[in-house]
Amino acid sequence: MGIKERKERHKEDLKQLILDTAKSLFTRYGYEATSIRKIAAEIEFSPTTIYLYYKDKSDIIYALHQEGFKLLSDRFVTLSNVEHPFERLKAMGRTYIQFALENSDFYELMFIMREPLDFLDTHCGEMDGDGWPEGDATFNSLIMTIMQCQEYGYFKGHETKTFALLVWSTVHGLCSLTVHGHLEHIVKNRQFFDSGISAMEASFNSFLQMLESMK
């Protein structure tokens, strides 16, 4: 590896270190309580070094937002070979849940924290021509799957985009409640479900049964 390649590798490694450290601090202490100086101290670099790569804190959280959506989108892409749209819809739900549980820090940044949306509203509006490609691609794959389900006779009488929003918000609610411990707390010692099955799994299976009955 030549000098140029080593410098480029060092640059990319440092950018990733900044992002990983910021993600940890954002989710541990919150966005407002995390400063560029605190991120720099954590990685033992000067704040000036961070400003070489990111202009401010909002730039960092948006970069994390993009990274998280790319990870989720990549998982959805692998489901494109599931031919039957309703089976694909179920697989998308399970994939979304698995992503949330395995990447709770990313999930917090992508779907719970307000600050990335503030950045999007300010810098990525439709007037800029850029929009929100990462989030749009993910949600559009759900809309397309819902539309194909309707072609198979599911969800008759429901507007496609609105129903897609309902499906996403329901699964998101289960994920959010689970990631923060509320779902298990509610059902603990109340014998809602058979032993050996989590509240998340039981609730999601019930939701799928409801969707399957809508044909």
Summarised one tens digit per residue, pLDDT across range 62-74 is 899 889 999 998 8
Measure Cα distances from 207 to 34, 144, 170 in Å: 38, 20, 9
CB 104 within 8 A of CB 142: no
Summarised one tens digit per residue, pLDDT across range 146-188 is 999 999 999 999 999 999 999 999 999 999 999 998 888 887 7
Q: Which of 21, 27, 22 is nearest to 105 (CA)?
A: 27
Instruction: Indicate the domain borders of the chain.
Output: 1-54, 62-212
- Fold of the CATH domain 1-54: Arc Repressor Mutant, subunit A (1.10.10)
DSSP conformation letters of 74-97: HHHHGGGG--SHHHHHHHHHHHHH
Summarised one tens digit per residue, pLDDT across range 106-115 is 999 899 888 8
- Fold of the CATH domain 62-212: Tetracycline Repressor; domain 2 (1.10.357)
